[in-house]
Amino acid sequence: MAPAFSDAIIRVRDITVQFGSTRVLNGLDLDVKRGEILGFVGPSGAGKSVLTRTIIGLVPKVAGRIEVFGVDLDAADPAARRAVERRWGILFQQGALFSSLTVRQNIQFPVREYLKVSQRLLDEIMVAKLGMVGLRPEVADRFPSELSGGMIKRVALARALALDPELVFLDEPTSGLDPIGAGDFDELVRTLQRTLGLTVFMVTHDLDSLYTACDRIAVLGNGKIIAAGSMADMQASQHPWLRQYFHGKRARAVMG
């Protein structure tokens, strides 16, 4: 393929994913550019999470090609794959914190596994990451079962950011947060993107997030990307689902 997309950090070509006889993704193409925040929307059950999980490699695909950081994930040997995995961070929808480890251990886990650094630095980095996601160091020795839903999201983000990745996948990061918390979270993602030069792939249903945090929006429907572009492009689109989504009652409320 032409190297025209050299600034694309994720390049997905012609992916097909099938569960039994249901085809979830059907020849889907998608590019995520370096340094952008891509908001990914679509009706419930359209396969947004499936696409995320396919890119990460948790769901097998029937056909297609996925390149992350210019590495073809199917052709890559285990060492190359590990190198890629070290450069991305993932925030799962339910947080997926390790339930038998404390917050401190959860955040330190990837760092401890990949880098040989002192316990002191591990602790300091853990506090710094907690600070970045807006948590106080006092929560460090709590277990995930002792945290609120919003705190779990934040700790999970801190863990996703533990190794200072270049790319983060956020699966519905603001669902289950109060509007102020969600607003803070959007702000946080923006700040992190600016300071750390992150690329963010965000699956979301939060219109506020789309307006305030995202640079570009991609819409999934019928197993394909039906539209991709800026907020203005989305609002100008004549696609029925898009019109409903971006001109519905809630959308008007957000736009004021």
Partner 1 sequence: MSGAPTLQRIAQGSGLALRAGGSWTAPFAARLEDIVADAEKLAGSRPQIFIDVSQISKLDTFGAWLIERLRRSLTHGEVEAKIAGLSTNYASLVDEVRRVRTAPAVETTAVTIGGMLEQVGRSVAGIGDTFVGLIDMLGAVLAASGRVLLHPRDFRLTSTVHHLEQVCWRAVPIIVLITFLIGCIISQQGIFHFRKFGADIFVVDMLGVLVLREIGVLLVAIMVAGRSGSAYTAELGSMKMREEIDALRTMGFDPIEVLILPRMLALIIALPILAFLGAMAALYGGGLVAWLYGGVDPEAFLLRLRDAISIDHFTVGLIKAPVMAAVIGIVACVEGLAVQGSAESLGQHTTASVVKGIFFVIVMDGVFAIFFASIGM
Interacting span for partner 1 (CB under 8 A) from 51-59, 131-139, 224-232, 242-250: 131-139
Question: Among residue numbers 140 through 179, which ones bind partner 1 (CB under 8 A)?
Answer: 140-141, 143-146, 161, 163-164
CA 252 to chain centre: 26
Least Å distance between CB 217 and partner 1?
A: 25
Instruction: Decide whether 35 or 57 has the Cβ nearer to partner 1.
Output: 35
Question: Cβ neighbours of residue 102 under 8 Å, at least 6 residues apart?
Answer: 140, 141, 142, 143
Least separation in angstroms between CB 126 and partner 1: 7
- 17 or 103: whose CB is closer to partner 1? 103
Which residues are CB-neighbours of 14 under 8 A, at least 6 positions away? 27, 28, 29, 63, 64, 65
Of residues 116, 240, 249, 256, which one binds partner 1 by CB under 8 A? 116
Piece of the chain touching partner 1 by CB under 8 A; list 51-59, 92-100, 168-176, 220-228: 92-100
**Do 164 and 125 contact (CB within 8 A), yes or no?**
no
In whole angstroms, the minimum distance from the beta carbon of 192 to partner 1 comes to 9
Query: Positive or negative, the Cα torsion across 110, 112, 114, 115?
Result: positive
- Sequence length of the chain is 256
Residues 6 or more apart whose Cβ sits within 8 Å of residue 44: none
User: Which segment (129-137, 148-156, 210-218, 244-252) binds partner 1 by CB under 8 A?
Assistant: 129-137
Residues 204-243 that bind partner 1 (CB under 8 A): none
Segment lying near partner 1 (by CB under 8 A), choices 20-28, 70-78, 99-107, 217-225: 99-107
Region from 74-82, 139-147, 168-176, 212-220 binding partner 1, contact rule CB under 8 A: 139-147
Q: Which two tokens stand for residue 170?
A: 């956020």
- Burial class of 210 by CB neighbour count within 10 A (0 to 12, 13 to 18, 19+): buried
Q: Which position has the token pair 């025209």? A: 4
Size of the site for partner 1 (CB under 8 A): 38
H or E element at residue 110: helix 103-114
Cβ atoms of 115 and 125 within 8 Å: the answer is no
* DSSP letter, residue 62: S
Using rule CB under 8 A, residue 127 touches partner 1: yes
Please pick, from the candidates 91, 125, 156, 182, the single residue that binds partner 1 as defined by CB under 8 A. Answer: 125
Residues that bind partner 1 (CB under 8 A): 98-100, 104, 111, 114-121, 123-129, 131-132, 137-138, 140-141, 143-146, 161, 163-164, 191, 194-197
